Amino acid sequence: MALGIQDLMKDTAMVASLAKDAKDAALLNGVLMRTKEASNSAELVTYAPFTLFPTPVPKAVFQQALNVQTHYNSLVDKISQNANFLNEALASTVEVDEFTSRLFEIHRQILKEGSSQSVVLGLNRSDYMLDQKDDGSSSLKQIEINTISASFGGLSAGMVGVHKHILKVAGRLDDSMTILDNNPAAGLARAIAKAKELYRSERFSSSFKLLMNTVNQYRLATFTNTFFPRAVVLILVSDDEQNIYDQRCVEIELMKLNVITIRRTFEDVFARGSLDKEKKLLIDGMEVAVVYFRNGYVPQQYKSQQDWDTRLMLERSCAIKCPDIATHLTGTKKVQQVLARPGVLEQFFPNEPQVVEQIRATFAGLYPLDMGPEGDKTVAMALKDPEQYVLKPQREGGGNNIYGSEICKVLQEAKGSERTAYILMDKIKPTPSHNYLLRRDSSITVSNCLSELGVFGAYVRQGKEMMMNEQVGHLLRTKSSVHADGGVAAGVAVLDNPLLY
């Protein structure tokens, strides 16, 4: 199968023809982005960057990533409920990382006031690479888990049609049939809709619930629509969004479920939003049931104190937050590193050794940079052989990691406890493949590529009861091996599909 794709790549005339077809297929399948020069205009769009051919991925590894996702969902949820664990894990980080510190201050305030909502909604994506060892063996290793604004669940569905079409045009009908159907946006929307349903049900008092058992459905519907009008889902967005169509895919799936959405920025919420005496979140006169964050995950997205005040208001409300502040903090790199310590996973799954084994099997080597002998040992290890490691700050969005000689520079220049803003991770070394990366206005040349597999998870918990816990789809991103770091939104990686073998 993989050999057949490699043979196609050698036919330059065929490649040029397929590339034209592929770009049209991307537009027809909605694999779209707005342009940098007109990021707020729907009048000028282009295809999101993608690979001409799907990338071969071992079926066993792919299945391993899918199978462990519900366990990661549970782990994230358990950590978010453990205030002592988060406090201990992030104690050194909040002292030196201002962004994490400000998030944690909101977390402290919510803990002090008490949560206004018993329903928790989590939409995350766990990212992996296939680590190739010197002896020829390979294993799935986690890069990170994204607990806020996990993107490309929408455009992934369109990529299925693109690669199926290209393989058929190329005469690879059997290969085209192995491309799996994949629509993460539908699963993400289903979880949002479930959370919204629970929000509405919680507004009924016990007397109203009793009424539900004594009146017929028609009268009940009339009653609830009169006294409990339909609440909306707020999608918190930036005012400059190239990747809007990925977000729109989730909105369309929500519309299919009769869920109304509104798009607002931090500035909009501050200007036109408020909490009533019951802490209901109201925006432009509409009650908000769920806040779905597609913004607010990097420092640059908080342009002023006003934006931080708005984030706090959202967290204090009884709207369901996706993620809530504790779940946001659970996705930090420091928490990822602490989880890799012996005995830590067992704290969250004390009677489930098989779950611990499945999760731990995906861990790469992770090392602390805390002040003290253990951190000093990590620094010495990194300085001795920096090419074997990655230095990771507490940031999302891609393009933030540090490699090679830059690791030495950062660690040597770090003053006092500044190094605790980072963690050190073993550098994963996947086997390269060849592919054509199609970007707007770029030449069509074959590239040596590395790929990263993401798996989407969705869960909804009400009180102590898990109401939904699912793996809802996957994402493959591929980049040229000349780039050490960066995702699709950062302009480095492109969208792809796994070709299972």
CB of 478 closer than 8 Å to CB of 496: yes
Ligand-binding annotation for 297, yes or no, is yes
Ligand-binding annotation for 69, yes or no, is no
Ligand-binding annotation for 295, yes or no, is yes
Q: What residues are annotated to the active site?
A: 125, 144, 146, 151, 333, 392, 396-397, 477
Ligand-binding annotation for 4, yes or no, is no
Ligand-binding annotation for 397, yes or no, is yes
CB of 85 closer than 8 Å to CB of 475: no
Q: Residue 436: in which H helix or E strand, if any?
A: strand 433-438
Ligand-binding annotation for 285, yes or no, is no
Ligand-binding annotation for 190, yes or no, is no
Q: Residue 340: in which H helix or E strand, if any?
A: none
Ligand-binding annotation for 400, yes or no, is yes
Q: What are the C-alpha distances in Å from 97 to residues 85, 142, 249, 332, 389?
A: 18, 23, 34, 11, 21
Ligand-binding annotation for 399, yes or no, is yes
Ligand-binding annotation for 125, yes or no, is yes
Q: d(Cα 186, Cα 154) in Å, to the nearest integer?
A: 8
Ligand-binding annotation for 394, yes or no, is yes
Q: Which residues of 227-236 are buried (b: 16+ CB within 10 A; e: fewer)?
A: eeeebbbbbb
Q: Work out the number of other CB atoms within 10 angstroms of the CB of residue 148.
A: 23
- Outline where 279-400 has alpha helix (H): 305-316, 325-330, 333-339, 344-348, 353-360, 373-384
* No. of helices (H) and no. of strands (E), the chain: 19, 21
Ligand-binding annotation for 112, yes or no, is no
CA-wise closest residue to 500 among 41, 229, 179, 79: 179
Ligand-binding annotation for 58, yes or no, is no
Strands (E), 27-161: 32-34, 45-47, 50-51, 55-57, 119-132, 138-146
Ligand-binding annotation for 219, yes or no, is no
Ligand-binding annotation for 464, yes or no, is no
Which residue type sits at 449? C
Q: Which residues are annotated as a binding site for ATP?
A: 144, 333, 392-401, 403, 425-428, 452, 479, 485
Q: Which residues are annotated as a binding site for substrate?
A: 125, 148-151, 241-243, 247, 294-297, 477, 488-489
Q: Which residues are annotated as a binding site?
A: 125, 144, 146, 148-151, 241-243, 247, 294-297, 333, 392-401, 403, 425-428, 452, 477, 479, 485, 488-489
Q: Which residues are annotated as a binding site for Mg(2+)?
A: 144, 146, 396
